[in-house]
Amino acid sequence: MSGLAGQRILLGVTGGIAAYKAADLARRLQDAGAQVQVVMTDAATQFVTPMTFQALTGRPVRSSLWDAAAEAAMGHIELARWADRIVIAPASADLIARLAQGMGSDLLSTICLASEAPIALAPAMNRVMWANAATQANVATLRARGMQVLGPGDGDQACGEVGAGRMLEPMQIVNALDTSAAPALLAGRRLLISAGPTFEDLDPVRFLGNRSSGKMGFALAAEASRMGAQVTLVAGPVSLCTPDRVQRIDVRRAVQMRDAVIAALPGQDVFISAAAVADYMPAQTESRKIKKTAASLSLELVRTPDIVSEVARHAQRPTLVVGFAAETNDVEQHALGKLKSKGLDLIAANDVAAEGIGFESDDNALTVYSTSDRHAIERGSKSEVARRLLELIAARLESGA
C-alpha cells in the first residue's frame, strides 16, 4: 500500500506551461489512494482550465480568496486545516518568492501561511530564472523552513532552452512524496535482495528457466528503499524497471547470481532471497545449437549452488537471512524443512498453486515462519505484501532477535 493512501493532499497549481502535467499528477496521486483538492492561482487558469482538475478529482477547484460561495462551503482556513500535506506543482518563481516573503496575496499563498501541513514544491521555470540569485535565495529560505523541494529536473525547456528548471515528471513527484510519507523503519539498514528467475543455458538458443517475473523481489526492493534502506538488488533476467535509489546488478545464471550475492554481502544487515533460483543446470552448455537428430534427447543436469544456504553459513552472514518457499503442496511442512535445512531466520512461504497469487501475478499472500512463530500476511498487491514482510523484518532487527 502506498504511504499516500488516505492522505488529503492540497495540490497547488501555479502559472507555467508545466501546469498541464499537474493534471496527470492529480490523477496519479489519486491512484496512490490520496484525496486531492486542487487550488489554482489566477495565472495557472491561463494554462489549464479548472474544469480539467474538477473532472479528474471530482472536487470543485478553488482559486479565489474572494469567492463568497466557496468560502461559505469551506473557507481558506478550513482548507488549510483539511490538508494532510500541501504539494505545489508546478511552483513558479513568483509563488516561491511570495512564500519566502510570507505573503498571503492570493488563496494559495494564504493557505500555505495558515497551514501546519508539510509543504512540498516542484519548481518549474526557465533555467535563467531558476539560476537567478533571488530565486536560489528564496528556495534556500524555504528549505531552511522545512519545505521539501522536489527537483527541478534538467533538460529541454518549453522556452527552447536547455538546462535546470523542468518540473519533475508526475510519477517522480508521487514517488518522492510516497518516500517521505513511508515510515523510515529501515533507515540506516542495508538490504540485499535477489529477484526473478535464473536461466540456465543449454546452447546459444535454449535455456532452462521458470515462471518468476521478478515482481515480488522488485516490490521488496522498492518498498525497502521507501522505508529508508540502502538496497542492492541482484536481478535475474526480467523486464522490470529499477526502483528509485536501488542499486541493481543483473545476472542470468544461478552461478552468476551466487557470485553477485556473495560479492555484495559485506556490511549487509539482511539478505532476502526472493529469486526463483534454478536447482539444476545443464552439466555442460553447448557452444553451438543442439541439432534435432535422435528421436529422444537426454540432458545431464547437475545441482546449482544453494545461494541462500551459502549466505546463511557465510562468515559475513547478515543479521537476518530470509528465504522464500514456492510450494504447490504441504506448504507449511516444506517451508519449515527449508527454514531448518538452509539455516534461515525467516522463511516466507507462498502457495504457487493457488489462483491469482505467486508467480507472475500482481498479488501474493505469504505465511512467514521462524523457528518459534508464524505470521500470516493476507492477500494483497505485491507492494502491500512486501511492506508487511519488511515491517516484520524491521521489528526483528529492532528487537535484536
Report the alpha-carbon distance of residue 351 to residue 364 in Å, rounded.
9
Of the candidate spans 29-37, 77-85, 271-279, 373-381, the one that interacts with ligand PMT by CB under 6 A turns out to be: 271-279
Residue 12 and residue 42 in contact, taking contact as beta carbons nearer than 8 Å: no
Q: Return the residues of window 235-264 that contact ligand PMT according to CB under 6 A.
A: 254
Q: Smallest gap, in angstroms, from Cβ of residue 68 to ligand PMT? A: 55
Of the candidate spans 100-108, 170-178, 273-281, 371-379, the one that interacts with ligand PMT by CB under 6 A turns out to be: 273-281
Q: Which of 67, 169, 279, 391 binds ligand PMT (CB under 6 A)?
A: 279
Torsion 122-126-132-134 (CA) sign: negative
| Residue for grid cell 527537483 | 151
Beta-sheet strand order (sheet of 8-13): 35-40, 8-13, 85-91, 119-123, 148-149
Residue 360 touches ligand PMT, criterion: CB under 6 A: yes
- Burial of residue 256, with CB atoms counted within 10 A of its CB: 0-12 exposed, 13-18 middle, 19 or more buried: middle
Q: Which of 381, 383, 5 is nearest to 181 (CA)?
A: 5
Residue 215 and residue 174 in contact, taking contact as beta carbons nearer than 8 Å: no
Of the candidate spans 74-82, 99-107, 164-172, 351-359, the one that interacts with ligand PMT by CB under 6 A turns out to be: 351-359
Residue 232 touches ligand PMT, criterion: CB under 6 A: no
Q: Which of 274, 281, 368, 392 binds ligand PMT (CB under 6 A)?
A: 274
Residue 323 touches ligand PMT, criterion: CB under 6 A: yes
Nearer to ligand PMT (CB atom), residue 68 or residue 302 = 302
Active-site residue, from 131, 159, 187, 401: 159
Phi, psi of 137 (to 5 degrees): -70, -40
Q: Smallest gap, in angstroms, from Cβ of residue 393 to ligand PMT? A: 14
Residue span 62-101 as binding mask against ligand PMT, x where in contact by CB under 6 A, dash where not: ----------------------------------------
Report the alpha-carbon distance of residue 375 to residue 47 in Å, rounded.
52
- Residue 362 CA, chain-centre distance (Å), reads 15
Q: Smallest gap, in angstroms, from Cβ of residue 338 to ligand PMT? A: 5
- Residue 370 CA, chain-centre distance (Å), reads 27
Residue 304 touches ligand PMT, criterion: CB under 6 A: yes
Nearer to ligand PMT (CB atom), residue 47 or residue 359 = 359
Q: Which residues pair with 381 in a beta bridge?
A: 363
Catalytic residues: 159
Q: Which residues bind ligand PMT (CB under 6 A)?
A: 196, 212-216, 254, 273-277, 279, 304, 306-308, 323-326, 338, 350, 352, 358-360
